[in-house]
Amino acid sequence: MFVLLNENFVDRTECLIDIEDRANQFGDGVYEVIRVYDGEFFLLHDHLRRLTYSLEEAKIDYDIRHHKLAEQLQKLMDMNEFKEGGIYLQISRGASPRSHPFPADTKPTLIAYPIPVSRPTESQEQGINAILHEDIRWLRCDIKSLNLLGNVMAKQTALDAGAKEAIFYRDYDHITEGSSTNVFIVKDGVVKTHPANHFILNGITRLYIFYLAEQLQIPIVEEVYSIEELKHADEVFISSTTSEVISVTNIDDVQIGNGKPGPIAQKFLDAFFKHKDVEQLSNTN
Ligand code: PDD
């Protein structure tokens, strides 16, 4: 497998990263997971726009355009003859002797490589169980940071409980997002999801759902909602690059709606591939 390491394409076994790269000691970096369907990137430019946002907010000095990143990623796909799955990409602040302050004159480290992703068709057909979990993460969830310990711990708690996702709440009551997904509820035909602020990652799939809602004329609002609203929703569903759209049919043993994937989630899923050629979603939300 070829890996993009900064400007070079190297074999995985030759991808040498310094032990003092700040990604290792501090999780000091940002990342993206970009879906590839049938040999084509899905929403690449939206992912690159969010990557730019994460880099700017984290004050990591890496210019995507200067490095012609879109072209490099295309080359990475071509070299790997990659058709189906995802590209994982991370940019750290770079390697430097361990010390908390930003190092002077250190160049960021970029790695990108293909990862296997298959469509979650069984979960989409049957729905999944989720648990509620206190949101134990920091307050800059809008940055797609490498620091995922809170997410990882919550996901494992969900798996240990026989569920597939942990839905986070803050302040005893307000639902934010999933451990690796955005969360939506449907009540009386209206879709509701947490506003895009520092409590959540503004998912690219979330933005795509706003776009699809416009196409399908499904009302959708960004509003904070409570655990009670979540449990009494007609439908709950999650979204992400790897999940697309998946209905949540049980939360902590409370059945959602009739316990089956709901019609609105199904509409989004049906439309998902019809509108896949949309160029760029930026500023649709
Ligand atoms: N996770 N919220 C969190 C905390 C996430 O980690 C993700 C994505 C999302 C959805 O974002 P998007 O639609 O852009 O994938 C929301 C990725 C897929 C991951 O870490 O594997």
Name the band, by pLDDT with cuts 50, 70 and 90, for residue 13. very high
Q: Is the pLDDT of residue 285 over 50?
A: no
Report d(CA 32, CA 140) in Å as an integer: 16
Of 252, 259, 261, the closest CA to residue 131 belongs to: 252
Mean pLDDT of the chain: 97
Q: Is the pLDDT of residue 53 over 80?
A: yes
Q: Same domain, yes or no, for 216 and 238?
A: yes
* Mean pLDDT on 276-282: 81
The CATH number linked to 191 is: 3.20.10.10
| Ligand 1 contact via 240 beta carbon (within 6 Å) | yes
Name the band, by pLDDT with cuts 50, 70 and 90, for residue 283. low
Ligand 1: nearest atom to the Cα of 177: 2
Looking at residue 67, its pLDDT comes to 87
Q: Which of 80, 97, 115 is the last residue of a domain?
A: 115
Which of 210, 241, 245, 281 has most ligand 1 atoms within 8 Å of its beta carbon, as the pocket-test mutant? Answer: 241
Q: Same domain, yes or no, for 108 and 157?
A: no
The CATH number linked to 22 is: 3.30.470.10
CA of 203 to the centre of ligand 1 (A): 6
Q: Same domain, yes or no, for 138 and 252?
A: yes
Report d(CA 186, CA 219) in Å as an integer: 10
| Domain, as residue range, for 163 | 121-271
- Check: CB of residue 243 under 8 Å from CB of residue 35: no
Q: How many CB atoms lie within 10 A of CB 148?
A: 16
- Give the pTM: 0.97
Structure tokens at 86: 């995802």
| Ligand 1 contact via 165 beta carbon (within 6 Å) | no
Q: Same domain, yes or no, for 145 and 190?
A: yes
Number of domains in the chain: 2
Q: Give the active site residues.
A: 144
Q: Same domain, yes or no, for 144 and 58?
A: no
Please state the three-class secondary structure of the chain as a single string.
Answer: CEEEECCEEEEHHHCCCCCCEHHHHHCCEEEEEEEEECCEECCHHHHHHHHHHHHHHHCCCCCCCCCCHHHHHHHHHHHCCCCCEEEEEEEECCECCCCCCCCCCCCCEEEEEEECCCCCHHHHHHCEEEEEEECCCCCCCCCCECCCHHHHHHHHHHHHCCCCEEEEEECCCEEEEECCCEEEEEECCEEEECCCCCCCCCCHHHHHHHHHHHHHCCCEEECCCEHHHHHCCCEEEEEECCCEEEEEEEECCEECCCCCCCHHHHHHHHHHCCCCCCCCCCCCC
Q: Same domain, yes or no, for 78 and 174?
A: no
Q: How many CB atoms lie within 10 A of CB 211?
A: 16
Q: Same domain, yes or no, for 213 and 187?
A: yes
C-alpha dist (Å) from residue 86 to 36, 54, 113: 5, 19, 8
CA of 181 to the centre of ligand 1 (A): 5
* pLDDT tens digits, 89-124: 999 999 999 999 999 999 999 999 999 999 999 999
Q: Same domain, yes or no, for 168 and 197?
A: yes
- Check: CB of residue 87 under 8 Å from CB of residue 73: yes
| Ligand 1 contact via 114 beta carbon (within 6 Å) | no
| Ligand 1 contact via 177 beta carbon (within 6 Å) | yes
* Mean pLDDT on 159-171: 98
* pLDDT tens digits, 117-137: 999 999 999 999 999 999 999
Residue at 276 is within a domain: no
Looking at residue 276, its pLDDT comes to 84
Q: Is the pLDDT of residue 284 over 80?
A: no
CA of 270 to the centre of ligand 1 (A): 21
Residue at 281 is within a domain: no
Q: Same domain, yes or no, for 110 and 18?
A: yes
CA of 214 to the centre of ligand 1 (A): 22
Q: Which of 115, 146, 164 is the last residue of a domain?
A: 115
